[in-house]
């Protein structure tokens, strides 16, 4: 699944990701990892991708107004939705942990389902979630 939804949830192919072309989505990826331009460069975490995936799953399940819609264990990918606080607008987010030669990293794609412009919400969400996951990884290593 790229930018459309189907009745059967499928993992997002970050390699073939087609962005909306509107200012209502955001992408985080390690340097040079995707064909689409990343708005945020994902850091490298010094843990295996499976540990990063489980940490991300725990952290994101606790985020307000957020629910996990699908878990694709083989791909180490989550499909989530988060609703806005005031109007309940639904945004879709995909998060995938990937192995790197020096650890692991995250791919994140966050997209609004309503409106042309998101006022920077998707990029802010990605930055906030990457920071929260980074803190949780550090806490696990302590």
Q: pLDDT (tens digit, 9 = 90+) per residue, 84-106? A: 888 778 999 999 999 999 999 99
Report the distance separating Cα 42 and Cα 106, nearest Å: 6
Question: Does 3 fall in a domain?
Answer: no
- What integer pLDDT is reported at residue 81 of this predicted model? 97
pLDDT tens, residue order, the chain (142 aa):
333 344 468 999 998 898 888 899 999 999 888 878 899 999 999 999 999 999 999 999 999 999 999 999 999 999 999 998 887 789 999 999 999 999 999 999 999 988 888 889 999 999 999 999 999 999 998 8
**CA contacts within 13 A on the Cβ side of 32:** 1
Report how many domains make up the chain: 1
Report the distance separating Cα 33 and Cα 59, nearest Å: 24
At 124, which CATH number?
3.30.530.20
Report yes or no: 46 and 103 within 8 Å, Cβ to Cβ.
Answer: yes
Find the helix or strand (DSSP H, E) in which 121 lies.
Answer: helix 121-141
Report yes or no: 70 and 78 within 8 Å, Cβ to Cβ.
Answer: yes
Report yes or no: 78 and 60 within 8 Å, Cβ to Cβ.
Answer: yes
Question: Does 133 fall in a domain?
Answer: yes
Question: Does 4 fall in a domain?
Answer: no
- The pair phi, psi for residue 128, each rounded to 5°, is -65, -45
Question: Does 1 fall in a domain?
Answer: no
pTM for this predicted structure:
0.91
Q: What share of the chain is helix, strand, coil (3-state, %, to 5)?
A: 25, 30, 45
- What integer pLDDT is reported at residue 88 of this predicted model? 78
Domain that holds residue 80: 19-141
Find the helix or strand (DSSP H, E) in which 96 lies.
Answer: strand 90-100
Q: Which residues pair with 79 in a beta bridge?
A: 70, 94
């Amino acid at each position: 699944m790229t930018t459309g939804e189907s009745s059967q949830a499928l993992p997002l192919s970050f390699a073939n990701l087609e962005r909306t072309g509107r200012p209502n989505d955001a992408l985080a990826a390690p340097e040079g990892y995707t064909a689409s331009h990343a708005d945020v460069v994902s850091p490298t975490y010094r843990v295996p991708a499976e540990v990063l995936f489980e940490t991300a799953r725990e952290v994101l399940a606790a985020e307000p107004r957020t629910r996990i819609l699908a878990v694709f264990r083989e791909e180490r990918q989550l499909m989530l939705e988060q609703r806005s606080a005031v109007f309940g607008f639904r945004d879709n987010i995909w998060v995938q942990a990937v192995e790197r030669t020096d650890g692991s990293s995250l791919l994140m794609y966050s997209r609004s389902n309503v409106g042309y412009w998101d006022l920077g919400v998707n990029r802010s969400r990605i930055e906030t979630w990457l920071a929260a996951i980074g803190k949780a990884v550090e806490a696990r290593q302590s």
